Amino acid sequence: MHSRPKPFRAPVVLAAPVALLLAAGGPVAAAHPPAPATRPPARTAAGPGTNHATDDPFTAARTSWWRQDRFGMFIHFGAYSNLEGEYTRPDGTVCRNAEWIERECGIPAAEYEKQAATFDPSAFDAEAIVRAAKDAGQRYLVITAKHHDGYAMWPTKQNTWNLRDHSAFDPHRDILAELKKAADAAGIKLGFYYSIWDWHDPDFADPATFPRYKQRMYGQLKELIDNYDPALLWFDGEWDAERPANRWSRRDGADLQAYLHGLNPRLIVNNRVGKREVVDGDFGTPEQEIPAEPVDGQLWESCMTLNDHWGFARYDTHWKSPATVVRNLLDVASRGGNYLLNVGPDKYGRIPQPSVDRLRETGRWLAAHGQGDAVYGAGYTGLVAAPPWGTVSRRGDVLYAAVTSWPAAGTPLHLTARAPFDITSARVAGSSQRVRVARSGDGFDLTPSGAATGPLASVLRLTIEPPAAAPAGDGTGLTARSWANDSFSGPPAAVTVDPTVNKSYRFDGSPDAGIPADHFSTRWTGSVQPRFDEPYTFTTVSDDTVRLWIDDRLVIDSTTPHGPKVDKGTVVLKAGHRHRIRIDYTERTGEAYLKLLWSSPSQAQEIVPRSRLHAD
Ligand code: H79
């Protein structure tokens, strides 16, 4: 990144020593001295010549389950749950909040600790929770291992501010272990939410002691990974904040991601591990909202409450209807995202019955008539425009048109095609009802012959004859010439063939051991061979600058130095034809990234794969 003003500057002293301290110390008492500024970097694979990108999250086997599963259960459960969303102040006034109650209601720390000591979620039933998720059709769980209040929900060895050591709960129980066992038995994936921002740890706010906090945080994350083998980590509280001051930096995020990757290279991690930029972690995290369009340049997951609170609030009865939940899930899946829907167990550990009821209704809809096919393993299709009467998703050569506004008898549902394709058969999922298909205007008219299958949404299963595709490619990548200056001047310092353009040099990496991490440039040349005769949208994620030419036409021109940024340009390509491609990329200072993705009506978004790229 180049000279972009930042809300706060990370002290250079914090850059790297955390993993080193960890390796040296194990659990460390609060008296441990702060890390001196002179410690050498602890990362093993780092420095010039390093590319920290490991795969393409859009297509990697690592992320495959997550991309298929689509629907997860978020669980907000912690010491705040014990207050059930209400705090009565000494003067008798009542303050309402849920997981933010300590801070938002100004509860003195000593008092919050006192109430936490009475926390006894004896009715926590991991099997019942997993059953509720399973009944809902949810295929993964993400539970708060630690929220902003810093209270750990497992017997951590890093401190005593946890469910075993600071509660009235059975000290022999471990709810995360119970959940892991039940989830494994049910074939459901388990993930942990972990807040970086910590209101309780005395070392959090002071720059001098922050390294000690980070050390305990690394220790806790290692415990979680070693003891419960989570499939996913969901970070939060990465933002700049006060009371206590949050000094989490992009550098901290890069270090943490490298550390986690070292512990488990298959872990899926959300973007709040860094600072929520498009290059951070594996997926974006819109909160309480659903993006109106597919998201460019990253996987994504919308997290949402089922009422108006994440943690339990006994007075909150503002529940979403099953129709809303189903519609949200369809909107999300049809735009290629995931839906993480929250429950907040009460102080005894029980999911509120209204939540269970709504989840069960959602699950019934998904299980009925094979309607879940519109969600699981299905995703965005550029073949058709989003219709006003519902959503359309695609899996293989089937389009799933989910109709939330069923038409009056004889009234057609219009589908706008964005590329030429045929519909070879159409039926209502799970019924013998016929659907008449007629070409009409810019697409098709679909006319069901009978009634909707139910009140929530009915799914039309459309088998298609997709646009003709060119055969599999046999490319090996693009020629990459890199310079140890940011102006492509003189002879290149390195020439290689790069299988894909997928670079995360972060702070310390560069194209070659002989090229420093700042002030370099790379020019990729060769040709790109598409599968379809279609308009292709090329998407770059870059930091600091990028220009892209296809057949000598400038398609992306993003030359003002910037932090992680998405640019797009669309060109019509010819199936099987080798179109000339050139990319000029520069890194000035700070972090460095470049990814090249493409998408088209027939091609889901992905990093342009090796097989479709040919070197000079
Ligand atoms: O864990 C859940 C939330 O606690 C956390 N992220 C999800 C997944 C989160 N929610 N909102 N925020 C973080 C951003 C901060 C919102 C605030 Fe407020 C508005 C803080 C103070 C005012 C909401 C209302 C929280 C307290 C009062």
Report if residue 26 sits inside a domain.
no
- DSSP structural state of residue 387: P
In a mutational test of the pocket of ligand 1, which residue from 100, 144, 271 has the highest number of ligand atoms less than 8 Å from its CB?
100
- Asked if residue 445 and residue 339 are part of one domain, the reply reads no
Identify the H or E element spanning 102: helix 101-104
pTM here is: 0.93
Residue 593 located in a structural domain? yes
Residue 185 token pair: 């038995």
How much helix, strand and coil, in percent to the nearest 5, is found in the chain?
20, 30, 50
pLDDT at 44 over 90: no
Same domain, 403 and 485: no
Give the position of tokens 């140890």.
484
Does the beta carbon of 248 lie inside 6 Å of ligand 1? no
Tell me whether residue 32 is in a domain: no
Per the CB < 8 A criterion, the answer to whether 63 and 134 are in contact is no
The reported pLDDT for the residue numbered 46 is 87
Q: Are residues 168 and 129 in the same domain?
A: yes
Domain assignment present for 328:
yes
Q: Same domain for 98 and 164? A: yes
The 10s digit of each residue's pLDDT in 494-519 is 999 999 999 999 999 999 999 999 99
CA of 152 to the centre of ligand 1 (A): 19
CA of 99 to the centre of ligand 1 (A): 8
Cα 198 to ligand 1 centroid, rounded to whole Å: 14
Query: What is the 312 CA–ligand 1 centroid distance (Å)?
Result: 14
Ligand 1 atom nearest to CA at 76? 1
Q: Is 465 in the pocket of ligand 1 (CB under 6 A)?
A: no
For ligand 1, atom 14, the nearest C-alpha belongs to: 237
366 and 409 share a domain? no
Q: Is 276 in the pocket of ligand 1 (CB under 6 A)?
A: no
Cβ–ligand 1 contact at 287 (below 6 Å):
yes
Give the mean pLDDT of 477-503.
Answer: 98
Residue 348 CB: number of other CB atoms within 10 A? Answer: 16
Residue nearest to atom 16 of ligand 1 (CA): 100
Output the DSSP codes for 278-335. Answer: TTSSSEE--BS---SSPPSSSEEEEEE-SSS-SS--TT---PPPHHHHHHHHHHHHHT
Same domain membership, residue 307 and residue 176: yes
| Whether residue 183 is found in the same domain as residue 305 | yes
Strand arrangement, sheet containing 390-395: 390-395, 398-403, 458-465, 422-428
Residue 40 has pLDDT above 90, yes or no: no
Q: What is the pLDDT of residues 154-166, one digit of tens each?
A: 999 999 999 999 9
Mean pLDDT computed over every residue of the chain: 93
Q: State the distance from the centre of ligand 1 to the C-alpha of 156, rounded, in angstroms.
A: 25
* CATH code for the domain in which residue 602 is found: 3.90.182.10
The reply to whether 435 and 333 lie within a common domain is: no
The residue contributing the CA closest to ligand 1 atom 23 is: 100
Examine residue 230 and state whether it is found in any structural domain, yes or no: yes
Residue numbers of the domain that contains 543: 478-615
In this structure, the answer to whether residues 513 and 490 fall within a common structural domain is: yes
- Which residue minimizes the CA distance to atom 17 of ligand 1? 100
Q: Beta partners for 232?
A: 191, 268
Ligand 1 centroid to Cα of residue 288, in Å, is 11
Cβ(100) to ligand 1 under 6 A?
yes
Instruction: Indicate which CATH number applies to the domain containing 76.
Output: 3.20.20.80
Alpha-carbon distance values, 368 to 288, 331, 578 (Å): 27, 19, 46
Give the residue with greater pLDDT, 12 vs 404.
404
Instruction: Output the pLDDT for position 25.
Output: 31
pLDDT over threshold 70, residue 245: yes
Residue 385: inside a domain: no
**Residue 282 near ligand 1, beta carbon < 6 Å:** no
Question: Does ligand 1 come within 6 angstroms of the Cβ of 426?
Answer: no
Ligand 1 centre to CA of 307 (Å) is 14
310 pocket-lining for ligand 1 (C-beta < 6 Å): yes
In a domain, residue 358? The reply is yes
Least confident of 33-37, 76-80, 131-135: 33-37
Of 402, 431, 465, the one marking the end of a domain is 465
Distance of CA 586 to the CA centre of its chain: 27
List the one residue out of 455, 367, 375, 382 whose CA is nearest residue 416.
382
In a domain, 48, yes or no: no
In this structure, are residues 550 and 556 in contact, taking their beta carbons and an 8 Å threshold?
A: no
**Do you know the residue count of the chain?**
616
| Residue 437 sits in the same domain as residue 324 | no
Residue 50 has pLDDT above 90, yes or no: yes
Nearest CA to ligand 1 atom 2: 310
Question: Taking residues 237-242, what's their average pLDDT?
Answer: 98
Take residue 187 and report the two structure tokens written for it: 């074939």
Domain identity same for 241 and 361? yes
Task: Assess whether the C-beta atom of 442 lies below 6 angstroms from ligand 1.
Answer: no
DSSP bridge pairs for 43? none
Residue nearest atom 3 of ligand 1, based on CA coordinates:
310
What's residue 45's pLDDT? Answer: 66
> Are residues 279 and 353 part of one domain?
yes
**With a 6 A CB cut-off, is 99 part of the ligand 1 pocket?**
yes
Domain count, the chain: 3
Residue 244 has pLDDT above 60, yes or no: yes
CATH code: domain of residue 451? 2.60.40
Closest residue by CA, ligand 1 atom 13? 237
Decide which of 465, 488, 523 is a domain's last residue: 465
